[in-house]
């Protein structure tokens, strides 16, 4: 059987979807799995032994340049892909549904209309599954894929997963301290409402006797890291890291603390202890809690169908509360 998974973006969402790969292979090692992804996120999938081929699509470039020509060119390339038995759209958006439909297959799989934020997507699927949109996203992903292939993935199996991010580079992080616990702070996120404040992060670094590092991916995130360092001079700012080097770094630290964003979710994927902070997004839905991966949520009532980007309640979480959780994990 040949399967193509469509999950285009973003980093954390792809991580949440990738967990299914090992269970598909456990069920039937002969199944071939390809993945269709946005070009800028290809790195998170590289070197995964359960993925045969990675196909990149650059919709972001077409969008930036506002070019219909580039868009049509990208979509035309999809028709050149091999014939599949199943194409599974794990994104559930109109754009990913169209992409899934353009790929030649015997069956296109997705969520039914009631299970989607963009219900129109369902018209492009030949087989649809009703899986509550409010369900934990990792459980949702597992249920969609296992339903499509006709087997089961239990929550107990998800809790006992193998690490599934890979790097061929052993990143040498000079800021690691062999004599103290190393804690990585992920200070940035895709929108500001998901970011814990500079003041709060700075206070947190004074509460735990550890070596604190800060990772960043954009210039805005670098500025946040520099602002934290001004208040807490002992904090060490990492160099700009590729996804492959970030995987290597996370695998070497003792704890990751951050908000609902890709690098924090990567800690879960690598079975590294983590504390994920939630305000404007639903923690019960976006993280899979384990003995070593914890969440702390604000008191905000979150609607997963419509995220309030003006909700900055993440900053109501007290650094002392994070400290208590972090110390238990160290």
Question: 215: helix, coil or strand?
Answer: strand
CA 306 to chain centre: 19
Overall pTM surpassing 0.75 (yes/no): yes
Beta sheet of 211-215, edge-to-edge order:
236-237, 211-215, 182-186, 255-259, 274-278, 293-297
- Residue 177 backbone dihedrals phi, psi, to 5 degrees: -120, 120
Return the H-helix or E-strand segment holding 12.
helix 11-18
Q: What angle do CA 262, 295, 242 make, to 5 degrees?
A: 20
Handedness of CA 11, 15, 16, 17 (dihedral sign): positive
pLDDT, one tens digit for every residue, the chain (330 residues): 999 999 999 999 999 999 999 999 999 999 999 999 999 999 999 999 999 999 999 998 888 888 989 999 999 999 999 999 999 999 999 999 999 999 999 999 999 999 999 999 999 999 999 999 999 999 999 999 999 999 999 999 999 999 999 998 777 787 899 999 999 999 999 999 999 999 999 999 999 999 999 999 999 999 999 999 999 999 999 999 999 999 999 999 999 999 999 999 999 999 999 999 999 999 999 999 999 999 999 999 999 989 999 999 999 999 999 999 999 999
Tell me whether strands 84-89 and 182-186 are parallel, antiparallel or unpaired. Answer: unpaired
DSSP calls for 79-107: TTSPPEEEEEESS-SHHHHHHHHHS-EEE
DSSP letters along 226-285, please? HHHHHH-TT-EEPPP--HHHHHHHHHHSSEEEEESSHHHHHHHHTT--EEEEESSS-HHH
Q: How far apart are the first and last CA of the chain?
A: 44
**What's the helix, strand, coil split of the chain in %, to 5?**
40, 20, 40
Q: What pLDDT does residue 168 have?
A: 87
Judge whether 56 and 41 are in contact, CB under 8 Å. no
Which domains, ranges and CATH numbers included, belong to the chain?
2-159 (3.40.50.2000), 182-329 (3.40.50.2000)
Q: How far apart, in whole angstroms, are the C-alpha atoms of residue 191 and residue 239?
A: 22
Q: Tell me which residue of 208, 195, 191 sits closest to 319, measured CA to CA.
A: 208
Beta-bridge partners for 5: 35, 88
In angstroms, the CA 230 to CA 243 distance is 27
Q: Which residue, 48, 66, 46, is CA-closest to 56?
A: 46
């Amino acid at each position: 059987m040949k399967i193509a998974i469509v999950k285009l973006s973003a980093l954390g969402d792809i991580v949440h979807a990738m967990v299914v790969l090992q269970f598909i292979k456990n069920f039937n090692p002969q199944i071939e799995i390809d993945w269709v992804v946005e070009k800028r996120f290809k790195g998170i999938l590289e070197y995964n032994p359960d993925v045969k081929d990675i196909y990149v699509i650059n919709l972001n470039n077409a969008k930036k340049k506002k070019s219909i020509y580039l868009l049509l060119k990208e979509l035309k390339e999809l028709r050149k892909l091999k014939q599949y038995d199943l194409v599974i759209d794990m994104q559930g958006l109109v754009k990913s549904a169209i992409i899934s439909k353009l790929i030649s297959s015997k069956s296109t799989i997705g969520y039914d209309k009631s299970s989607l934020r963009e219900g129109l997507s369902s018209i492009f699927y030949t087989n649809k599954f009703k899986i509550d949109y409010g369900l934990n996203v990792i459980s949702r992903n597992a249920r969609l894929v296992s339903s499509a292939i006709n087997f089961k993935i239990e929550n107990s199996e998800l809790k006992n997963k193998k690490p599934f991010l890979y790097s061929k580079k052993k990143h040498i992080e000079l800021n690691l301290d062999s004599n103290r616990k190393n804690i990585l702070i992920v200070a940035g996120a895709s929108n500001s409402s998901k970011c814990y404040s500079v003041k709060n992060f700075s206070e947190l670094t004074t509460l735990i006797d550890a070596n604190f590092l800060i990772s960043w991916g954009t210039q805005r995130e670098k500025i946040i890291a520099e602002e934290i360092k001004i208040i807490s001079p002992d904090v060490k700012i990492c160099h700009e890291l590729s996804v492959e080097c970030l995987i290597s770094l996370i695998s070497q630290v003792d704890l990751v603390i951050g908000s609902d964003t890709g690098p924090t979710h990567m800690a879960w994927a690598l079975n590294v202890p983590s504390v994920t902070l939630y305000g404007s997004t639903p923690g019960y839905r976006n993280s899979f809690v384990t003995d070593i991966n914890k969440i702390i949520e604000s008191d905000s009532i979150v609607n997963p169908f419509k995220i309030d980007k003006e909700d900055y309640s993440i900053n109501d979480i007290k650094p002392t509360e994070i400290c208590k959780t972090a110390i238990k994990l160290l």
